Structure 1
Amino acid sequence: MATPSPEQAQTLAADLSSGDAARVAAAIGAPAAEPANAALAAKLAKAGPLVFSPNVTPVSAGVVTTTATLGSGATKKTWNVRLVLVGGRWVLGTTTLANKP
């Protein structure tokens, strides 16, 4: 089964934290007809560094789970993430906060 390469994961993280609404929309697999969300893009960029774990678990063809960290220091959060392969590109499928208080 396909899994994202480290370079693909870095590209996805860079797109999600770029602050560019169009790049964020593409990274979450939003339909082309849907307007890009500038507020979401700005919030992700402000949140701090986004890093995907290199440890992925294949779920099915074109679907993997992993974790990602967002932010640093006291604001750092870990998320459980599902990545989906769409048209040859890995996009963010779903997320859930892993370290809920």
Structure 2
Amino acid sequence: MFYLQNKQNKICVILDTKLMQERFLNESSVNPLKNKKFSKKYKILLLKNAIAVPSPNVSIDALGLTLSIISMVLIIVAIYRDYIFRGKDTSKSIKNEVAR
């Protein structure tokens, strides 16, 4: 099918290779335009399987949740302890506590 002997027949080579590609697509059923319905159904099937995920069973552990909240509060208090308790170290009483 290839006419490589003559330079004048280069166009025939291009046309023949195009014809061979079209034959290959038709024979091997790779042509996506041939089976539009099948490919559309296949895509829908893949999409349904990708989306269909069973819902997980969620149960909340009350003790764990409570202890987690307490630990977060304690961490925040520890971070801001200097700000919260700063007045106690430097506070002086206004009145004399011991009467003379």
Name the TM tier (shorter chain): under 0.3
Higher strand share: 1
Report the TM-score, using the length of structure 2 for normalisation: 0.18
Higher helix share: 2
Report the TM-score, using the length of structure 1 for normalisation: 0.18
By relative contact order (CA 8 Å, sep 6+), the higher-ranking structure is 1
